[in-house]
Amino acid sequence: MQGEFLVPVHSANEFPEKARQVLIRNVYLHDDSSVQSSPLYDVICTNGKVHDVRATSDPTNVENDDTYIRGSIDSEDVEILDAEGKGILVPALCHAHIHLDKCFLLGKSDELVSGDFAEALKVTAQAKGNFPSALEDLYNRGSRLIVESVECGVTAMRAHVEVDETVHMSCLDVGLRLKKDYETICDVQIAVFAQDPLFSAQNAELGDNLILLQNAAARDGVHAVGSAPYVEPSVAQAKRNIRFIFDIACTHGLHADFHLDYTLDRDAEPLIWYVLDELRTRMRTGRWPAGARVCVGHATRLTLFSAEEWAALAHAVHPDGEGLPLALVGLPPSDVYMMARGAQWELARPRGTLDVVRLARVHALPVAMAVNNVENAFTPQGVLDPLALCPLGVALFQSGTRADAARLVVRRSSLICFSRGSLALLDTLNVAGGRDGKCTDRGGHERSPRAASGARGPS
């Protein structure tokens, strides 16, 4: 069982001065097996790695903490977290897809009237117009998102920040500051993102947005570049958008991350095939950066795929097939809010989001689900706790079986993304709210999000 629940990312010689221990007592463990020898465990971490795991009821343990610690680990510098039989220890969580700059925008733009996608784009663009002159607000909203995420057990996130003629580099500048200011409690991976078209609508000429995105992608601290090809005025320009994002990713050695095929229109061409073609071509010609991956978010159009189309996609990405480095991320809070099929269904419009449970179970596809937006026009009801997606997923995917529930959250190939190298201690009485969660950083130190919040402000 040792090391089962922590993927170490540090070697011992990164902590040369003195061994440092964290003892987590009386805790339930993340485990997908139905048989455990004890309901509660004590977990001993040394220098950021799980050193030992013992049943709390083990007769070799004693009630006296000092004796127990001296007999178990070799250090005077021991930090003790006592879960008191009310907490569960899990690998820390990861936001696979979240917007750092567009969170908590309700009330900062016009009231929603129709609640539809066009209105969301319009009122968000309106709010974005204020970003460059409201940097403190931009920082504070991003700070709140990071701190409240850490309180939910999140220690890593792919954070999209927009770059365009409206916001210029303001979202990126603030995102990079937040990344640095919170680096001890959360790994904020910055993805520069073009929500707006890269082409001017009338003449298909390249717009200034592309130049800005190219410059943004060259900045230190940026790990991914992405776009929303569906905002381009034609399929041809959407494909050019995709090619440009791939070119930027190749030039700067970045991951690519697309908001793609965000429709339930069966007549719309699924651009996932074009993305795969472009990726395939670059890999064959040696232009794709080593280790870089492609992420495709939303992809609701794929919910209309036939079994043959899913099999073809699975073959393209599965290690036993072509092994192309592409993964899908369903974003159910936004998808089910925005995606409804056709006016003819006015009184009972079917809604769509990727059925990540069946895609993992039937096609073994690399899939995840993530939060995307929190309290903005695209997802007014959004909450930022990744575990809150699980009860939603049980209903959406009819996943009430023990196996599906395990697939949603507790297996290593879980559909909720875990963060490598960190643990999260969650209060089992308040998992959905997650407000009493504690996290360890990659050195095994407990981190208090509240303390982090208070310690840093806009600078």
Residues that bind Zn ion (CB under 5 A): 372
Contacts with 104 (C-beta within 8 Å, 6 or more apart), sequence order:
141, 144, 145, 374, 375, 376
CB nearer Zn ion, residue 257 or residue 441: 257
Cα angle 286, 291, 198 (rounded to 5 degrees) comes to 75
Distance between CA atoms of 1 and 421, rounded to whole angstroms?
16
Burial class of residue 108, CB neighbours in 10 A (0-12, 13-18, 19+): middle
* Two structure tokens written together for 216: 């943004």
CA end-to-end span of the chain? 44
CB nearer Zn ion, residue 372 or residue 376: 372
| Backbone region of residue 311 per phi and psi (left: phi > 0; alpha: psi in -120 to 50; beta: other values) | alpha
Instruction: Outline where DSSP puts E strands in 35-77.
Output: 41-46, 49-55
Residue nearest to Zn ion (CB): 372
Q: How far is the CB of 254 from Zn ion (least distance, A)?
A: 17
CB nearer Zn ion, residue 88 or residue 354: 354
Q: How far is the CB of 231 from Zn ion (least distance, A)?
A: 12
CB nearer Zn ion, residue 31 or residue 119: 119
Q: How far is the CB of 115 from Zn ion (least distance, A)?
A: 18
Measuring CA to CA, which residue among 411, 444, 412 is closest to residue 425? 444
Measuring CA to CA, which residue among 344, 328, 444, 350 is closest to residue 396? 350
β pairing state of 41-46 and 21-29: antiparallel
Distance between CA atoms of 302 and 49, rounded to whole angstroms?
40
Cα angle 436, 437, 442 (rounded to 5 degrees) comes to 150
Q: How far is the CB of 371 from Zn ion (least distance, A)?
A: 9
Rg (CA), the chain: 23
Distance between CA atoms of 312 and 121, rounded to whole angstroms?
33
CB nearer Zn ion, residue 124 or residue 303: 124
CB nearer Zn ion, residue 188 or residue 423: 188
Measuring CA to CA, which residue among 222, 149, 227, 124 is closest to residue 179? 222
Handedness of CA 435, 441, 445, 450 (dihedral sign): negative
